[in-house]
Amino acid sequence: MKRFLFTTLFTLLFSSTILAQEIEVPMSEQRVEDKAYWEKGKRARSIAPIEVTHDDNAVYIYSNVLLEDLQITIKDSADNEIYSTTTIAVPDQRTSISVLFPSDGQYKIELNIGERCYLGYFEVGSSL
């Protein structure tokens, strides 16, 4: 009986891990192209790459540097804002955001950190 319970418990834990698999969101950086900005002698700070993943009900952000005033915006395929917040991303810790996606489909995430913007596109739903 113990063997059966152990096997059942192990199977349930393993299958729930498979179902909650995080999917990477490819991110691209948008740089400031304002010539006046560069003529003032300012330089863009080098920010370590940000990694973003998601599952069907959450978005996760990873960074190896402190990101203060991280503006996170998620939009649907019609460019309607469905989620927006400002938070802090702590180095080497996952920042979790629970999102109630209104429907299956394509979504865009925008991460704004000072003068830099990172964009990524991902899909939520049963067609994954």
Q: Supply angle C-alpha 69, 78, 54, rounded to 5.
A: 50
pLDDT at position 21 is: 86
How far is residue 63's CA from residue 91's CA, in Å, rounded to a whole number? Answer: 6
pLDDT at position 123 is: 94
pLDDT at position 34 is: 44
pLDDT at position 28 is: 86
3-state secondary structure of 110: strand
Q: What is the CA radius of gyration of the chain?
A: 19
pLDDT digits (tens), the chain, 128 positions: 666 554 555 455 444 444 568 999 988 887 655 434 444 444 444 444 789 999 978 999 999 889 999 999 999 999 999 999 999 999 989 999 999 999 999 999 999 998 889 999 999 986 54
Compute the Cα dihedral for 82, 88, 90, 91 and give only its sign.
positive
pTM of the predicted model over 0.75:
no
Q: Supply angle C-alpha 38, 41, 42, rounded to 5.
A: 70
Write out the two tokens for 53: 């993943």
Confirm if 91 and 85 have CB atoms less than 8 A apart.
Answer: no
CATH 2.60.40.3080 fits domain 23-124: yes
pLDDT at position 44 is: 45
3-state secondary structure of 19: helix
How far is residue 73's CA from residue 109's CA, in Å, rounded to a whole number? Answer: 6
